[in-house]
Amino acid sequence: MSAERLGQLDVLISAHLRWMAAAGYAEATTRARRRHLERFAAWAAPRGITHGREITLPVLERYREALFPRGSKSAQAQALSALKQWLGWAARMRHLGANPAAELQIPRLGRRLPASVLTHEEAERVLARPDTTTPTGLRDRAILEVLYSTGIRRAELIALTLADLDASGGALRIRRGKGDKERIVPIGRRALTWVDDYLCHARPRLLRAPDRGVLFLTRRGTALRANRLTERMHRYVLEAGIPKGGACHVFRHTAATLMLDGGADIRAVQEILGHAELSTTQIYTHVSIRRLKEVHAKTHPAEAPAPPLPTT
């Protein structure tokens, strides 16, 4: 293929996505990158920008301005980051003479505190909601126990296989973590008991041949769908009478916060959660401090209303 043809935006995007697939990027990451790049190409085409050499820093700054009224700062940052990754790759591969996005400024995002964190008592109320006399209810109780015990992500739970469970060692192997990073996380005895109950009494009734080894199955014997799983977990939170909202991720927030409240070392929590940066884990220390301040304000005698001064 000629250098001229390779530099066309559609060809350059396709080549980048093939490289991502070969490099082992997660499918969700590749899909998101495709969406962002195709959106940029659709914006660029009516403006006569169809080749990589026509992309300049002023062009990218115009695109950033076009994004501003259309979405949140987070959405803008994701879109611009995708462009930066793509154009940086194109420059490294010598498809472009230079990286026009090298000096592109991306909106800075502050670390947001988790929207919802459950108390231990609230978590127990949610865990008690599934009807464990049914195969799907027993499965859901096992899922909730795993989420609460390990703090793993929704996608990580869906991807679990039978081979990833080390019951004797009290551990789960997360093979498809964020960024396709693998890690081992501890899982508690209670969660293992519920998973064993599910494996003995529910999974055989949900299984359809051939058995592909997926740990948690739907009624049709297939892997769980992310949106459907979120709907079911969110329903249990609502049925427990908890107005905080949340679904799978609320148990990740809750596990991290309660472990830190209980005195866990922050670097141990970072490793369990699979955070690349310690600063990501530190948001949970802020949640812990916020709770401590609430307790302090409610219980410390110096915070009680002062009694009226005696009159003379």
Catalytic (active site) residue 253: no
Is 201 known to be catalytic? no
- Catalytic site residue from 148, 198, 236, 284: 284
Choose, from 178, 183, 205, 291, the residue flagged as catalytic.
Answer: 178
- Per the CB < 8 A criterion, the answer to whether 201 and 138 are in contact is yes
Q: With H, G, I as helix, E, B as strand and everything else as coil, classify residue 173.
A: strand
Q: How many other CB atoms sit within 10 Å of the CB of residue 75?
A: 13
* Active-site entry in 33, 153, 154, 176: 153
Spatial separation of the C-alpha atoms in residues 245 and 243, rounded to whole Å: 6
What's the DSSP call for residue 8? B
Kindly name the residue from 51, 234, 249, 291 that is annotated as catalytic. 249
At residue 182, the 3 state secondary structure works out as coil
The tokens of 193 are what?
Answer: 């008991």
Cα–Cα distances in angstroms (integers) from residue 295 to residues 112, 129, 179, 236, 285, in the given order: 22, 28, 38, 27, 15
Q: Does 178 participate in catalysis according to the annotation?
A: yes
298 is a catalytic site residue: no
The pair of structure tokens assigned to 140 is 């859901």
Catalytic residue among 33, 95, 252, 253: 252
User: Can the peptide bond before residue 210 be classed as cis, meaning omega within 30 degrees of 0?
Assistant: yes
Q: Is 153 a catalytic site residue?
A: yes
Active site residue 36: no
> Which of the residues are catalytic?
153, 178, 249, 252, 275, 284
